A and B are shown apart, each in its own frame.
Chain A
Amino acid sequence: MAFITANWNPLGEAFYRSTELYEMCWNLRDGLRDCLVAAAPYGGPIALLREPVRRSPSSRPQLEIYSASGVAIASFPWKSGPVVQLGWTVSDELLCIQEDGSVLIYDLFGSFKRHFSMGQEVMQSQVLEAKVFHSPYGTGVAIVTASSRFTLATNIDDLKLRRLPEVPGNTWSAGEPTCWVVLTQDRQTKVLMSNGPELYILDTTSCTAVVPPGLGPQAGSIVHMSVSFSYKYLALFTDTGHMWTGSSHLCRRPKSQQPSVVLMWDRLLMVAGVSHDTIQFPLEDPCVLIGELDGVRIISSANQELLQEVPLVCQEIFKIASMAPGALLLEAHREYQKSSQKADEYLREIKEQSMLGEAVRQCVEAAGHEYDSNTQKSLLRAASFGKCFLTDFSPEAFVSTCRELRVLNAVRERGVGLPLTHTQLVYRQFYPLAIEVCRYLKIPDYQGVSRVLKHWASCKVQQKDLSDEAIARAVCVKVGDSPGVSYSHIAAKAYECGRPELAIKLLDFEARSGEQVPLLLKMKRSQLALSKAVESGDTDLVYTVVTYLKSEMNRGDFFMTLRNQPVALSLYRQFCKLQEQETLKDLYNQDDDHQELANYYVTASYREKRLESRLSLLQTAVDEYNKAKNEFSAKATEEEMRLLRFQRKLDDEKGAGLLGLSLQATMEALLALGLHKQAEQLYRDFRVPDKRFWWLKLKSLAEKEEWEELEKFSKSKKSPIGYLAFVEVCMKSNNKPEAKKYVSKVTPEQRVKAHLAVGDLEGAADAAIERKSDSELAAVLARCPASDRQLLDRLNRAAAAAAKK
């Protein structure tokens, strides 16, 4: 305990320590020399490819996968093409990037999953270098080809290749960048590259030359660069031995923050910061450095260490002669264990500064940062001891730290090998432990246990030695209806491993019918997919299946299938209405839907320019309406055909421009043209109601101011629309004398109105008084000017009389 600071090295105001994590279990004959090595972040597994550059075509390099503690997980000979780079995804899949630009993906246990290519043009020019990087979008891959073009894929699970622009004014004849890194900032992924002393930032659209502030040209060419785990900080190293550090936005950081960079030479490791100090560690063996969130893992053939800045709270407690409250509390507890009264003195001292809460907090926090379980224990005991003297201290932090440390310690056991989060635990197939961890950490079911179960089930279906029945049962029993476990996901896995029957059994457990559809389609169970899609109510899904069926089946079968699914059928009809009119006809034909067929022909007739084709389509419509026993429509259509022929005839003869007008509009046009005879003919032929025709003629004559004609017309027979209409229409044309002619013909009921319409107050008053109607009297009164006393009196008297009655 006393020597806890023994491995601390000061650098400026900070301390750095290197803690041994493991003595590696592996037994590497040749160390890490001539190996491609990749270790996953967050204490993840390590992949090794020996001699990636083959000496002869016959020699096969070996690909090995180890846990972080060096326990062998998988090993197999590499049969594919030459590998440029290895890397791990965030979900611990191994990416092997080959010279030809293809990327092979293996799972943690060395079984091949899938592959993709970084683009056609890469095939020709070959990958020069590649990098695997992590961003909020997932795991990405960046490559640079021998022709110095960069290609990026930000997320390999949603592959979109982006070719970055060329560096302008290709000054570098060597044709390749000296060094480069991938940066993720402002939601964008960029490449920072150097060519000699020049620096460029490449994003999807542009290439910008940049100069880091304070790095003059005399510093020389940039030969190495590195970006921090968080993409916040950047370090550049030049061939003259200068190093530049700063933010990755290429501006200097404020001095207060301590940047530090780890540099490695063959036999030397150096930590360098802003101050001129450095810490140097000699190396015996070739090592690999893995950047982590809070430090650097150093892996050599013999052991693995974590080099990190000593967290501030640990510094405060353990720094020699520290008087921080946490340090005092630790000391107090130590004295207390020795049953020494000094414990009280220390405690008193903390309490006098009323810093006991702070002291407990420091101890708890520091325990979390310590790797050695004995140190953790003593810190936590001290915290617990201090807590006794506090009345209202929330125990939450203490309890959760204890829980988390127990879990972390459990997984750091050599046999498990270091994973830090429960997800990583699951991926390594320690299911029971993972479930226990989830329950212990009180992670909500749908985030914790369910995910473990899902992963377990996905592996279970791959077990070849068990029958479909047995697996389905086992999965169902274990998973039950745990929230968040998708049976369709498990079924998809089963199908991937070539077990369609099992997949269907599993799909039956899926509650969300929408989820079942894509897999069912993939498995060519299209009928089932269709009924599931309909069940889900999601019409887009139904459309998707229908489109699929259409391309897979012959027309007859397709129509039959739809017939059994009315919902799908009407959706398809909708689709056809907008997209495939012809198919629509076939659908109606199949269903003997004559009414709709007729409507279809009617619609179609309006698309025809030529009258003959229009008429023939309408004739077909008539036939269909008849078949549908829709007498009215059949007749109306025949009338329309007659009207069209009539219009055509007149258009030809008189150039009347009638074609396409309604019957009413046609008559209107004819009257306007003075073709009264033809209008009359239509009126008789089409049995137009008298009322409508009278209105039409009345208005037309008034409009043309043919007042004599109008008078003749009014006398031709008794008007079916009465004579008030005549009065009003004349008034609308501002012809009072004409209007007055008709007033006397108006029925008594409407006479007051007629008199008022022509502005004859006296007449209106007479009529109203005669009829003794108070409402009519009131109407006249309202129009009567106050000056006409005599009329007013008459009306008022009559109104009074009417009211008495």
Chain B
Amino acid sequence: MAAHLSYGRVNLNILREAARKELREFLDKCAGSKAIVWDEYLTGPFGLIAQYSLLKEHEVEKMFTLKSGRLPSADVKNIIFFVRPRLELMDIIAENVFRSDKMHSPRDFHILFVPRRSMLCEQRLKEQGVLASFINIDEYILDLIPYDGDLLSMEYESAFRECYLENDQTSLYHTAKGLMTLQALYGTIPQIYGKGECARHVANMMLRMKREFAGSQNQILPVFDTLLLLDRNVDLLTPLATQLTYEGLIDEIYGITNGYVKLPPEKFAQKKQGEASKDLPTEPKKLQLNSAEELYAEIRDKNFNAVGAALSKKAKIISAAFEERHNAKTVGEIKQFVSQLPHMQAARSSLANHTSIAELIKDITTSEAFFDNLTVEQEFMTGVDTDKVNTYIEDCVAQKDPLIKILRLVSMQSVCNNGLKQKVLDYYKREILQTYGYEHILTLNNLEKAGLLKLQSSSRNNYPTIRKTLKLWMEDANEQNPNDISYVYSGYAPLSVRLTQVLARPGWRSIEEVLKMLPGPHFEERQQLPAGLHKKRQQGENRTTLVFFLGGVSYAEIAALRFLSQMEDSGMEYIIATTKLLNVPPARTPAHIKDSMHPSEDRQLLFV
């Protein structure tokens, strides 16, 4: 079920097992039948740790979604609330408890806070007069969730907002705690590098926490050699650009949430002949995407233009394998063929799925609108006409394209020009307010606070210097057989990943100038290892680096890092961790933009 977690360089299943064990222990604390009331946001992340079967084994009979009012009736002994420590949720819980049927057989209430219990919340429950109703108040420390063999995410949705807009460093505290847990399982990480204010803060907390636990030396041989902490606001450009890898495009178009994607069902309907026309499924098709699926692991990180070839090659291999049956003559040979059938059939259905997805995507990538958008993005990234109002953006506003698209383009222009001239900036802002509504004055204000939009100051535009020094634009990006990370954006090499690459070789000393141009401090720390734990490296053995993106990471960046891991002469393997896998909500459903009560929500659209 979670075997794909253990294939990689670092066995992330250890982390998952530790999390599962803790969950089981908590459930066993509440004897008897149980109902879980879920903070809806948690169900996704929890799905990566434990399926319903595990809960069922521990007498969980019912599951509800937390909402105000009365709890649905359930004939269980225990009601357990699984919630994030948020005040507004406490009020709902209090209401639930108050309105629960007192006459009904008495039930025990419990709360499990994820990822940490909070005195503030308990205080609130006390004020509401329900704290004493809870038999157990516990915490379930779920900071880093293993997503894939080389990928960890905290699925902390609002980290970017909190850090860069609200100066609320709660997510960073959880990050530091999560890294401490990780070190407890995988050994102390001897070297820490970082760039950015948040990175500095996390590193400081980690060092402090280590001091606090002085004495209990960690005796595990370190699995990671280096930790690299990167602030998202060091590289705001990358997540603004349209991702061009297969997985990146699936996310751009349909949105991947907690490892699942929902696709329009039409393409997947005619599976069985005969009943095809009867009833077309109306429910979106839900697919799980991770490296457990052999074919997906192979193509997910390819540039989309290379996916077609890969799929047809695979199709040939599979049909050749099916042809084998004609060669099977002896009983033994037939038996062998039959034994391979399930695997082959799985491969065939996987191929069919991805062929359908690729077709869906192709319809969009070959459209003129997609091409025009990409052209403008690439112009900005190469520094063409970034200092005046862009006609394409103007047209898009006039056509009332989704706001998110406009905001991405305008922000991108601002980032690539180190800010916009007052006239240009005001023009865009006016256009947006007049077209999408005045309430977005707050959205724009937030974008400015986060540095995505800014006024050009007198200092010169240093983006071209950064671009040249770090080789952010590669003219001849090879999409089919890439030799550089720039293939993930068909030309643009993500800045964050370049920084990672340079750190490994030749080292950051070579780019001191550029580092100074990027926001926040850069630093290096060392953590002492107990004697005897210093690794003796085998000749040619790769080093392992954990790259932690504070404020989110895009799928294309992940693809680029995987590419670096696979490069033969890189000598470095990367494990990726993040506060949240950035996902772009489907551009066609900008429904929540209308909600003027939460104007800042739109910011979140950029960095969910």
Report yes or no: A636 in contact with B429, Cβ–Cβ below 8 A: yes
CB < 8 Å neighbour of B85 from A483, A484, A512, A540: A540
Answer whether residue B149 sits at the interface, using C-beta atoms and an 8 A cutoff. no
Answer whether residue A696 sits at the interface, using C-beta atoms and an 8 A cutoff. yes
Report yes or no: B435 in contact with A664, Cβ–Cβ below 8 A: yes
Closest 8 CB pairs of A and B: A483-B215, A570-B167, A662-B437, A640-B438, A695-B398, A663-B434, A539-B170, A664-B435
A603 CA to B597 CA in the complex, in Å?
7
Answer whether residue B325 sits at the interface, using C-beta atoms and an 8 A cutoff. no
For A481, A539, A571, the residue with the greatest tally of chain B CB atoms inside 10 Å of its CB is A539
Question: Can you name 6 extra interface pairs (CB under 8 A) apart from A540-B119, A567-B169?
Answer: A187-B29, A187-B31, A205-B77, A578-B87, A637-B441, A665-B437
CB < 8 Å neighbour of A484 from B176, B215, B399: B215
List of B residues within 8 angstroms of A579 by Cβ: 87
Of A9-17, A358-366, A683-691, the stretch lying at the interface with chain B is: A683-691
Report yes or no: A570 in contact with B168, Cβ–Cβ below 8 A: yes
Number of B interface residues at 8 Å Cβ cutoff, please give it.
58
One digit per residue, 1 when the CB lies within 8 angstroms of any chain B CB and 0 when it does not, for chain A 491-519 equals 00000000000000000000111000000
Report yes or no: B441 in contact with A636, Cβ–Cβ below 8 A: yes
A560 CA to B559 CA in the complex, in Å?
49
Q: Give chain A's interface secondary structure class.
A: helix
List of A residues within 8 angstroms of B88 by Cβ: 578
A579 CA to B90 CA in the complex, in Å?
13
Of B204-212, B331-339, B583-591, the stretch lying at the interface with chain A is: B204-212
A481 CA to B212 CA in the complex, in Å?
10
A686 CA to B438 CA in the complex, in Å?
13
Report yes or no: A539 in contact with B395, Cβ–Cβ below 8 A: no
Answer whether residue B596 sits at the interface, using C-beta atoms and an 8 A cutoff. yes
CB < 8 Å neighbour of B442 from A482, A575, A602: A602
Report yes or no: A571 in contact with B168, Cβ–Cβ below 8 A: yes
* With A160-B135, A578-B87, A636-B438: A537-B173 Cβ-Cβ less than 8 Å: yes
List of B residues within 8 angstroms of A543 by Cβ: 118-120
List of B residues within 8 angstroms of A633 by Cβ: 441, 445
A662 CA to B436 CA in the complex, in Å?
6
Answer whether residue A573 sits at the interface, using C-beta atoms and an 8 A cutoff. yes
* With A579-B87, A691-B394: A483-B214 Cβ-Cβ less than 8 Å: yes
* With A544-B123, A664-B435, A692-B431: A599-B85 Cβ-Cβ less than 8 Å: no
CB < 8 Å neighbour of A691 from B108, B166, B169, B398: B398
List of B residues within 8 angstroms of A7 by Cβ: none
Answer whether residue A188 sits at the interface, using C-beta atoms and an 8 A cutoff. yes
Report yes or no: A567 in contact with B437, Cβ–Cβ below 8 A: no
Report yes or no: A511 in contact with B205, Cβ–Cβ below 8 A: no
Within 8 A of A (CB), among B440-460: 441-442, 445
- Chain B proximity of A439: nearest CB distance (Å): 16
Answer whether residue A612 sits at the interface, using C-beta atoms and an 8 A cutoff. no
A484 CA to B213 CA in the complex, in Å?
8
Report yes or no: A188 in contact with B31, Cβ–Cβ below 8 A: yes
CB < 8 Å neighbour of A574 from B105, B166, B205: B166
Answer whether residue B17 sits at the interface, using C-beta atoms and an 8 A cutoff. no
List of B residues within 8 angstroms of A692 by Cβ: 394, 397-398, 431, 435
Answer whether residue A566 sits at the interface, using C-beta atoms and an 8 A cutoff. yes
- Chain B proximity of A680: nearest CB distance (Å): 15
List of A residues within 8 angstroms of B31 by Cβ: 186-188
- Chain A proximity of B363: nearest CB distance (Å): 17
- Chain A proximity of B136: nearest CB distance (Å): 10
List of B residues within 8 angstroms of A544 by Cβ: 119-120, 123
List of A residues within 8 angstroms of B169 by Cβ: 537, 539, 567
* With A539-B173, A567-B169, A632-B426: A187-B212 Cβ-Cβ less than 8 Å: no
Answer whether residue A711 sits at the interface, using C-beta atoms and an 8 A cutoff. no
List of A residues within 8 angstroms of B394 by Cβ: 689, 691-692
* With A205-B77, A543-B120, A579-B87: A664-B201 Cβ-Cβ less than 8 Å: no
* With A539-B169, A541-B119, A662-B434: A632-B398 Cβ-Cβ less than 8 Å: no
Which of under 10, 10 to 19, 20 to 34, or 35 or more describes the interface residues of A?
35 or more
Subset of 22 A-B contacts with CB under 8 Å: A187-B28, A446-B215, A481-B214, A535-B208, A537-B169, A537-B176, A539-B169, A540-B85, A544-B120, A544-B123, A547-B120, A573-B166, A574-B166, A578-B88, A636-B430, A636-B433, A663-B434, A664-B434, A691-B394, A692-B394, A696-B398, A721-B398
Answer whether residue B599 sits at the interface, using C-beta atoms and an 8 A cutoff. yes
Residues of chain A whose beta carbon lies under 8 Å from any beta carbon of chain B: 160, 186-188, 204-205, 445-446, 481-484, 511-513, 535-541, 543-544, 547, 566-567, 570-571, 573-575, 578-579, 595, 599, 602-603, 606-607, 632-633, 636-637, 639-640, 643, 661-665, 686, 688-689, 691-692, 695-696, 721
One digit per residue, 1 when the CB lies within 8 angstroms of any chain A CB and 0 when it does not, for chain B 587-608 equals 0000000001101000000000
Report yes or no: B435 in contact with A662, Cβ–Cβ below 8 A: yes
A603 CA to B120 CA in the complex, in Å?
26
Answer whether residue B172 sits at the interface, using C-beta atoms and an 8 A cutoff. yes
List of A residues within 8 angstroms of B431 by Cβ: 689, 692
- Chain B proximity of A286: nearest CB distance (Å): 41
One digit per residue, 1 when the CB lies within 8 angstroms of any chain A CB and 0 when it does not, for chain B 192-209 equals 000000000100110010
Report yes or no: B118 in contact with A540, Cβ–Cβ below 8 A: yes
List of B residues within 8 angstroms of A691 by Cβ: 394-395, 398
* With A482-B215, A688-B434: A606-B439 Cβ-Cβ less than 8 Å: yes
A272 CA to B139 CA in the complex, in Å?
49
Report yes or no: B116 in contact with A540, Cβ–Cβ below 8 A: yes
List of B residues within 8 angstroms of A578 by Cβ: 87-88
CB < 8 Å neighbour of A686 from B170, B398, B434: B434
- Chain A proximity of B181: nearest CB distance (Å): 15
List of A residues within 8 angstroms of B213 by Cβ: 483
A187 CA to B438 CA in the complex, in Å?
60
A483 CA to B204 CA in the complex, in Å?
21
Report yes or no: A606 in contact with B596, Cβ–Cβ below 8 A: yes
A665 CA to B438 CA in the complex, in Å?
12
- Chain A proximity of B384: nearest CB distance (Å): 19
- Chain A proximity of B79: nearest CB distance (Å): 13
Within 8 A of A (CB), among B382-406: 394-395, 397-400
A22 CA to B516 CA in the complex, in Å?
79
List of A residues within 8 angstroms of B442 by Cβ: 599, 602-603
* With A446-B216, A544-B119, A692-B397: A606-B597 Cβ-Cβ less than 8 Å: yes
List of B residues within 8 angstroms of A639 by Cβ: 438
Answer whether residue B265 sits at the interface, using C-beta atoms and an 8 A cutoff. no
List of B residues within 8 angstroms of A640 by Cβ: 433, 438
Answer whether residue B47 sits at the interface, using C-beta atoms and an 8 A cutoff. no
One digit per residue, 1 when the CB lies within 8 angstroms of any chain A CB and 0 when it does not, for chain B 114-156 equals 0010111001000000000001000000000000000000000
- Chain A proximity of B554: nearest CB distance (Å): 27
* With A160-B135, A445-B215: A664-B400 Cβ-Cβ less than 8 Å: yes
- Chain A proximity of B156: nearest CB distance (Å): 13
Q: In this complex, what residue of B is CB-closest to A664?
A: B435
List of B residues within 8 angstroms of A484 by Cβ: 215-216
- Chain B proximity of A118: nearest CB distance (Å): 16
Report yes or no: B166 in contact with A570, Cβ–Cβ below 8 A: yes
Answer whether residue B284 sits at the interface, using C-beta atoms and an 8 A cutoff. no
List of B residues within 8 angstroms of A696 by Cβ: 398
A204 CA to B445 CA in the complex, in Å?
56
- Chain A proximity of B322: nearest CB distance (Å): 35
Q: In this complex, what residue of A is CB-closest to B598?
A: A603
List of B residues within 8 angstroms of A205 by Cβ: 77, 105-106
Report yes or no: A567 in contact with B167, Cβ–Cβ below 8 A: yes
- Chain B proximity of A191: nearest CB distance (Å): 16
A540 CA to B173 CA in the complex, in Å?
10
A637 CA to B395 CA in the complex, in Å?
25
Report yes or no: B438 in contact with A643, Cβ–Cβ below 8 A: yes
A445 CA to B216 CA in the complex, in Å?
9
A663 CA to B440 CA in the complex, in Å?
13
Report yes or no: B441 in contact with A602, Cβ–Cβ below 8 A: yes
Q: In this complex, what residue of A is CB-closest to B173?
A: A537
List of B residues within 8 angstroms of A187 by Cβ: 28-29, 31
